[in-house]
Amino acid sequence: MNNKNSDKHNPYVPATESPLEFTLKAVITGIIFGILFGAANAYLGLRAGLTISTSIPVAVMTVAAFRALHTIGKGGTILEANMSQTVGSASSSLASGVIFTLPALFLWGFDPSLIQMTLLAMFGGMLGILFMIPLRNYLIEREHGKLPYPEGTACAEVLIASEVGGSRAKNVFIGLGAGAFFKFIFSWLKIFPSDIHFKIPFLRKGELAVDMSAALFGVGYILGPRIATIMVGGSLLSWVVIIPVIAYWGAGQLVPLYPETSLLINDMSASLIWTRYVRYIGAGAVAAGGIITLIRSIPTMIESFSIGAKQFKDRLNKTSIKIPRTSQDLPLHYVLIGVVLIAIGMAIVPYVFGPTSGVLMRSIGAILIVIFAFFFVTVSSRIVGLVGVTSNPTSGMTIATLLGTSAIFLALGWTGDIGKTAAITVGCVVAIAASIAGDTSQDLKTGFLLGATPKKQQLGELLGAFTSATFVCLSVILLNKAYGFGTAELPAPQATLMKIVIEGVLENALPWSLVGIGVVIAIVAELFRIPSLPFAVGVYLPVATMMTVFLGGLLRYIMEKTSKSEEEKEQRRENGILLGSGFVGGEGLLGVAIAGVAFYYGRAPRGIGDEWAGSFAPLLGLVAFGLLAYIFINRIKSAK
């Protein structure tokens, strides 16, 4: 692969060659892996408030599958493997947009149908991909060397590397098995407690905890020590500072503190104080952090928006010339027709905005979606080129969309349940569009480096979004039936935040003093040069969740610090990321399986229970989790 600082590029597969690419084998493999990781990412996002990029794990598993098929004479080319990961990775970004918004409908008690959720997911996915297509030539080709697109570049390197499919593929599969097994013993058999709590002596209601989750441990390793430390720092602020301060202050109060109406603070547990008060502080912090991140991106947004508009104009005026295979996009008139059909579909199909929505509301909602989606797709496609998918401020974009939409609905008098449903619908489609545009950009960068055909990749993205939408939404419904959103198992933090934003505008039903404290926390974090959004997410989420993420990040720091060479350090980083991705996939898939069982039988598996171990159950749970860490460390060190 050529120097990243060079604007010129010679792809791995020259434009003059045309190896197999868009084949049935590649598409089916991508769809299968996409469904699996899409469901797993939905579970992770509902539990931890974040998702991971699955391009590399899907690419590695695809190559391993192709090598297995090679034994019977059906192996695949590198461009087929790239097509498979392109199709497969679309589901993860689609899952991000779904779980960031639609659980709010369940929290309101509306229970959307599978067909409504699927239509929203499909429309958002296709809209994001279509709007990104005219930007590809500029962002991927002309800005090569200036926009690194880290995940896309890394995925290309993984596919090119000669060792792909050996120990790397084994790491993913070991991670899948280990993650599923530990989820099975902790959440299906329940022979150990799923989280361990520690009271802090001499600190009123002060508490620490650790979640026995392989997925969160893997996420921590993937995020790295810096972000993991920032997130746990926010959580410690909540559980070691804010909750005790509220407890000390509330000890002398003789009446409940709003929004609580019956219990005194003195009678509340630490968890209940967090639920009734700290959650709103965290919501204010996350909202402010997302908006701050968005404001800091304004120069990029303006530049990206102007580029996007110019690209549309240039493509419309383009004369018919011979274009190399590696620069062929889907024709622009297909893009325009697709966007128009999607807008019309959202306006005339009652299921999209809810069966009680009127034509006027659906029409205005569809127009708002197209406007916000075009703007934020342009922004997202460029931002991920600089900072990667994991740092894409999708939450901030969604909050900005919801604030604008809710303000318009308030002016039109749509403040009831129909207005809430329509507002979250607009936010959902825009969130999915912005999220999948970032993923599409990374995949097209991978294809650009490898020498793939862009229009075939774009078709693959559309197919991946279309085929995975139902399964991602079905996973969300099953998870709600099994655990319920807003619970300790699935707090659905981002969706809860979006619900709070809409209620705040349409109903003015928030404890604004608590929200304001959160806003101040985010601003202070920025003043101390601490990234406010991850810190705010830590404030918002339970300490048990963040502590496990921190342990994973700490392990990565130790593994890389004790490496004897740069080569060993890089090897440990890659091995751990693949193994951690497997942990996420394994636990997520088992979580969805448990949800399926609960949906079928009407209850989650009761398991054996941890009574057999008596007071030693928490200790034995920690020992089991230590075994998981040992497997992780041993595999990172031994894999070559």
pLDDT digits (tens, 9 = 90+) for 553-571: 999 999 999 998 888 998 8
In the chain the first and final C-alpha atoms are separated, in Å, by 22
Does some domain include residue 640? no
Strand boundaries in 164-230, DSSP class E: 195-199, 207-211
pLDDT digits (tens, 9 = 90+) for 491-530: 888 888 888 888 888 877 678 888 889 999 999 999 999 9
Does some domain include residue 381? yes
Does some domain include residue 237? no
Does some domain include residue 435? yes
Residues in the chain: 640
- pLDDT exceeds cutoff 50 at 5: no
Does some domain include residue 393? yes
Predicted pLDDT of residue 548 = 92
What pTM does this model have?
0.76
Is residue 57 within 8 Å of residue 581, measured between CB atoms? Answer: yes
Predicted pLDDT of residue 168 = 64
Predicted pLDDT of residue 400 = 78
Give the pair of three-digit tokens for residue 35. Answer: 């469904």
54 confidence band (pLDDT: 50, 70, 90) = confident
Could you tell me if residue 71 is left (phi over 0), alpha (psi between -120 and 50 degrees) or otherwise beta? alpha
358 confidence band (pLDDT: 50, 70, 90) = confident
Domain of residue 122, residue span:
24-172+298-316+328-497
Predicted pLDDT of residue 91 = 85
Strand boundaries in 473-547, DSSP class E: none
Does some domain include residue 13? no
**Quick count: other Cβ atoms within 10 Å of Cβ 73?**
6
Number of domains composing the chain: 1
Predicted pLDDT of residue 61 = 81
3 confidence band (pLDDT: 50, 70, 90) = very low
- pLDDT exceeds cutoff 70 at 307: no
* 439 strand-pairing partners: none
Average pLDDT (199-207) is 89
Predicted pLDDT of residue 306 = 67
Burial class of residue 509, CB neighbours in 10 A (0-12, 13-18, 19+): exposed
- pLDDT exceeds cutoff 70 at 72: no
pLDDT digits (tens, 9 = 90+) for 436-480: 998 899 899 999 989 999 999 999 999 999 999 999 999 999 989
Average pLDDT, the chain: 83
pLDDT digits (tens, 9 = 90+) for 136-156: 877 788 777 777 787 787 788
SS3 assignment, position 318: coil
* Dihedral of the alpha carbons of 166, 167, 173, 178, in degrees to the nearest 10: 170
Does some domain include residue 532? no
| CA angle (156, 159, 163) in 5-degree steps | 135
Question: Which residues are CB-contacts of 247 (< 8 A; sequence separation ≥ 6)?
Answer: 204, 205, 265, 266, 268, 270, 273
Does some domain include residue 580? no
Predicted pLDDT of residue 124 = 94
Predicted pLDDT of residue 162 = 44
Which residue is it, tokens 């959160």?
518
163 confidence band (pLDDT: 50, 70, 90) = very low
